[in-house]
A and B are shown apart, each in its own frame.
Chain A
Amino acid sequence: MTDDKDVLRDVWFGRIPTCFTLYQDEITEREAEPYYLLLPRVSYLTLVTDKVKKHFQKVMRQEDISEIWFEYEGTPLKWHYPIGLLFDLLASSSALPWNITVHFKGFPEKDLLHCPSKDAIEAHFMSCVKEADALKHKSQVINEMQKKDHKQLWMGLHNDRFDQFWAINRKLMEYPAEENGFRYIPFRIYQTTTERPFIQKLFRPVATDGQLHTLGDLLKEVCPSAVVPEDEEKQNQVLIHGIEPMLETPLQWLSEHLSYPDNFLHISIIPQPTD
């Protein structure tokens, strides 16, 4: 029987085999070979692609290089979304490796946030962690931590150090003994078929009668189109870290074990693939 702690490790060390190809219209001095990399599901594109950047810049002149950006089948990839989320949402129905196109020109200002430095990624990451704690603990736990603890969360993610990260993150996963869970669950639900980028609402992990809310309860409440009655054919897949958790899973457990490092449950709903 898998220990719950093993789940934390499996989530942290999840990888996606990716093939990076330079966009054909980029100007190069020699042919650019594709670059293969295993991307960490829980990290961010601009945090883990220094080697990709270096590889392609080797065959380009400085004047042809502007801000790097990535695209999959015509869709600019939002670096501020975790890698695993982008993959589950956009590419999980396709065969591996994940084929990503690299651009150095024509940054799509209307679609993507700029990523001027690693500091921008850290600021974004910490902002998400703080927002998650605002929902879970009215910001009490994150505000009680020292600056060095915040730094440790970031360095743990940056350097792929599971133990370093969880030494601090475990505090963000605690709750008062008298409660049965967090105040509200930090989650975002993504679908490519809707106009909004994501759904985020206030949702409690425990009902007034003390029963634990499940993933199914959450979907029924905030995204009813994703859940169909038992006898009807399943239209969608509900993915977290590339797996379909059972709808009966308590949301509190999911929040403690399947959240991303930013402490949010990023849930993708995609059409059921036709095999």
Chain B
Amino acid sequence: MWTVRCSLTFFLTGAQTAEAIASAATTKDPSSLVQLSYSMEEEEFFGEQTFQHYCKEFIKHSQQIGDGWEWRTSKEAFELPLDDSEVTEAAAATEVIKYEYHVLYSCSYQVPVLYFRASFLDGRPLSLKDIWEGVGECYKTRLQQGPWDTITQQEHPILGQPFFVLHPCRTTELMSPVVKNSRKINRNINYITSWLSIVGPVVGLPLPLSYARASSQDE
């Protein structure tokens, strides 16, 4: 049995600083940002600013329930601080695996993309096969049939290191019924929350239900 310790991150892929993100998210009228993302005819169906807005809302809830998501803009200070007591206790009887999940924005496909990797504490990486052993059988079949194509190993565009990635080319197809339906029933959704609740569990990242309640309370 392995003890799992997660580290979760978002990334800003543009050149903006943290201050710029904060101002982009707050000085714009919140309702207009939401409308921008719902409009199918818009140039950018899911633009980078919209991505940032939803990530900020997502992180607000994450901070409330303490499940560890953070917003990062660069490679700096990226090493995860390891709680020593946690490690020695766990290492005695089990193997500790460190999982990392990163949500980045793809400007090419204009959708969020999930990057992930796992390694033992000594740095040995887990293969995709090892990671899948931790995922439910039902998800494996879904992954093969699902519209999100494949998991491949790719270079993380900010860290420059190998990560596994759920390919983004079908994300729009995956998400458009969700977005359309939310418009129909006139209900606010957080795109990031909805998207992550679909793709996350497939790669071992379940999303607490409280995120859904938080989304519908936004605005």
Q: Indicate which residue in B107, B109, B153, B169 contacts A201 across the interface (CB closer than 8 Å).
A: B107
- The contact of A197 among B14, B155, B167, by CB within 8 Å, is B155
Bin chain B's interface residue count. Answer: 20 to 34
Closest to A183 in B: B43
B-chain residues with CB within 8 Å of residue A186 when the two chains form the complex: 108
Which one of B75, B125, B162 contacts A195 once the chains associate, using CB atoms below 8 Å?
Answer: B75
| 0/1 string, A107-142, CB within 8 A of B gives 1 | 001111110000000011001001100110001000
Q: What 1/0 mask marks residues of chain A from 68 to 91 whose CB sits below 8 Å from any chain B CB?
A: 000000000010100000000000
Q: Which residue on chain B has the smallest CB distance to residue A130?
A: B169
Q: In the bound complex, what is the Cα–Cα distance between A37 and B15 (angstroms)?
A: 40
Does chain B have a CB within 8 A of A180?
A: no
CA distance A196 to B76 in the complex (A): 11
A123/B107 in contact, CB under 8 A? no
Q: Is the CB of B162 within 8 A of A109?
A: yes
Question: Which chain B residue lies CB-closest to A132?
Answer: B108
Cβ contact within 8 Å between A197 and B157? yes
Bound form: Cα–Cα A139–B167 in Å: 15
Residue A200 lies at the interface, judged by CB distance under 8 Å to chain B = yes
Across chains A and B, the number of contacting residue pairs, with CB separation under 8 Å, is: 52
Chain B contacts of A243 at CB under 8 A? none
Which of the residues B157, B161, B162, B169 comes within 8 Å of A200, measured between beta carbons? B157
Residues of A within 8 A of B109 (CB): 131, 134
Are A196 and B158 in contact (CB-based, < 8 A)? yes
Residues of chain A within 8 A of B75, CB atoms compared: 195-196
Q: Is A175 on the interface with B (CB-CB < 8 A)?
A: no
Which residues from chain A contact B125 at a C-beta distance below 8 Å? 109-110
| Nearest B residue to A223, CB-CB | B15
Which residues 113-131 in B have Cβ within 8 Å of A in the complex? 123-125
Asked if A198 is at the interface of the complex by the 8 Å CB criterion, the answer is yes
CA–CA, A195 and B76, complex, Å = 9
Question: Do the beta carbons of B157 and A195 come within 8 Å of each other?
Answer: no
A202 at the interface (CB under 8 A from B): yes
For residue A123, which residue of chain B has the nearest CB?
B152
B157 touches A196 (CB 8 A): yes
Instruction: Check B160 for interface membership: any CB of A closer than 8 A.
Output: yes
User: Is there an interface contact between A110 and B108, defined as CB atoms closer than 8 Å?
Assistant: no
Beta-carbon contact of B161 and A111 below 8 Å = yes
CA of A123 to CA of B167 in the docked complex: distance in angstroms?
Answer: 11
Contacts known (A135-B108, A201-B14, A202-B107); A196 close to B155, Cβ less than 8 A: no
Is the pair A80, B74 in contact by a Cβ cutoff of 8 Å?
no
Query: How far is B124's CA from A114's CA once the two chains are assembled, in angstroms?
Result: 14
Q: Report B22 CB to chain A, min CB distance, Å.
A: 21
**Residue in chain A with minimal CB distance to B44:** A202
A110–B169 contact, CB under 8 A? Answer: no
Roughly how many angstroms separate A222 CA and B75 CA in the complex, as a whole number? 19
Check A80 against B161 for contact (C-beta < 8 Å).
no
Binary per-residue interface labels of chain B (157-193) against chain A in the complex, 1 for a CB within 8 Å, 0 otherwise: 1101110000101000000000000000000000000
B157 touches A113 (CB 8 A): no
Q: How far is the CA of A223 from the CA of B76 in the complex (A)?
A: 20
Taking a contact as CB atoms under 8 Å apart, the answer to whether A112 and B167 are in contact is: no
Counting CB contacts under 8 A, is B154 at the interface? yes
Contact partners of B154 in chain A: CB under 8 A: 113
Cβ contact within 8 Å between A78 and B108: no
A196 touches B160 (CB 8 A): yes
**Distance between Cα atoms of A128 and B105 in the complex (Å):** 17
CA distance A222 to B14 in the complex (A): 10
Query: By the criterion CB–CB under 8 Å, are B157 and A78 in contact?
Result: no
Residues of A within 8 A of B124 (CB): 109
Q: In the complex, A80 Cα to B163 Cα: how many Å?
A: 14
Asked if B153 contacts A134 (CB within 8 A), the reply is no
Contact A114 B153 (CB under 8 A): yes
Give the residue name and chain of the B residue nearest to A143 (CB).
B169
Could you write out 21 A-B pairs with CB less than 8 Å apart?
A80-B155, A109-B123, A109-B124, A109-B162, A110-B123, A110-B161, A110-B162, A111-B161, A113-B162, A114-B162, A123-B152, A186-B108, A195-B75, A195-B76, A196-B75, A196-B157, A197-B155, A198-B157, A200-B157, A201-B14, A202-B107
For the complex with contacts A109-B124, A110-B123, 6 further pairs of A-B residues with Cβ separation under 8 Å are: A114-B153, A131-B169, A134-B108, A195-B75, A196-B160, A201-B14
Please provide the 7 A-B residue pairs with the shortest distance between their CB atoms, ordered closest to farther: A197-B160, A195-B75, A131-B108, A134-B108, A109-B125, A202-B107, A113-B162
